[in-house]
Amino acid sequence: MIDPEPAAPPAPIPAPPRPLRALDFARMTSRSFYLQALFAPERQQGPGFAFALLPAIRRLYSGARERGSALARHMGFFGTHPVLSGYVLGVAARLEERRAQGIPIGDAAIEDAKRSLASPLAALGDPLFWVTLRPLAGLVGILGMTLFPLADRVGPDLRVLVCPLLALLTYNAVALNHRLFGVRRGYARADEPGKLLHSLRLAPLRGFFERVGAFLFGSLMVLTLWPMTESADPAGLGFAHTASVLAPFALGWIVSALVLRRWPGRCVEIALAAALVALVVSTRV
């Protein structure tokens, strides 16, 4: 009688992946604030994306190799607007979770989902946050200087704190909403990226802020010129005197506006050249 071959020990059943928790989303959100620390032209925010996704990867995969290969999957090129990156992180976390649960989702599918959301978010987010909202927030801070006059001419000027605070509040009132809740929203709506994008209403928001920015700049011009005109002629010498005092400002404004039409983005050079020309002219007159 042949002894039956001893039965091979049963293969270990892999532990089912643990679902993502609120703490993981909070960790991913906090790490998304460092998205650009290794920013480089070749991969842009790729390493930062992998770094921000790491809490989810740690939760979903147990072995060092599995974690490493999941991390490497997200290290390639990635570029979106940093304020809106949470939405893509949420979608990627959802797909990684399904993959860890055994649902067949390939690398290409994850990459496609990331790109399909990241590109429109960059296209909508850059003009909204960089071109419109950030300059507008600075403008609100500057307006604070004209709207909050000195309470006491010899006391400390509290506008030095009020103006930056106004700028910070204006920008972050809009941006922090996306930054703090983006990961959760992206995770919840991972299957309907189109609806997710539409729900953000980024394009109408941009149009609104453009109009507000132009309106406030018009107000700022008047609020600046009014006291300048008031103080230009304390002795009441007439319009000609006021015009001659305001002429350097007007000349600097008009010439720079014309030069900027031709060479936008050259403000620093124009300012330094204008200061030099004014210095030379002042020594001749």
Q: Is 217 among the residues that bind another protein (CB under 8 A)?
A: yes
Stretch 194-213 residues interacting with another protein (CB under 8 A)? 210-211, 213
- Pick from 17, 33, 98, 185 the residue near another protein by CB under 8 A: 33
- Pick from 172, 177, 199, 244 the residue near another protein by CB under 8 A: 172
6 vs 63 by CB, closer to another protein? 63
Least distance from another protein to the Cβ atom of residue 7, Å: 33
Give the angle subtended at the CA of 96 by the CAs of 95 and 102, to the nearest 5°. Answer: 95
Count Cβ atoms within 10 A of the Cβ of residue 236 and give its class: 0-12 exposed, 13-18 middle, 19 or more buried: exposed
Structure tokens at 175: 């941006």
Stretch 231-250 residues interacting with another protein (CB under 8 A)? 246, 248-250
Stretch 255-274 residues interacting with another protein (CB under 8 A)? 255-257, 260-261, 264-268, 270-272, 274
- Pick from 26, 98, 105, 224 the residue near another protein by CB under 8 A: 224
- Pick from 41, 104, 149, 234 the residue near another protein by CB under 8 A: 41
* Total of chain residues touching another protein, rule CB under 8 A: 107
- Pick from 222, 235, 236, 262 the residue near another protein by CB under 8 A: 222
Stretch that binds another protein, among 9-17, 101-109, 136-144, 184-192 (CB under 8 A): 136-144
- Pick from 23, 151, 188, 214 the residue near another protein by CB under 8 A: 214
Calpha distance 251→239 (Å, rounded): 17
Least distance from another protein to the Cβ atom of residue 124, Å: 12
How many beta carbons lie within 10 A of that of residue 284, not counting itself? 5
Q: Is 173 among the residues that bind another protein (CB under 8 A)?
A: no
Least distance from another protein to the Cβ atom of residue 196, Å: 21
Stretch 80-109 residues interacting with another protein (CB under 8 A)? 82-83
Q: Which of 254, 257, 251 is nearest to 277 (CA)?
A: 251
13 vs 279 by CB, closer to another protein? 279
Least distance from another protein to the Cβ atom of residue 129, Å: 8
Q: Is 37 among the residues that bind another protein (CB under 8 A)?
A: yes
2 vs 285 by CB, closer to another protein? 285
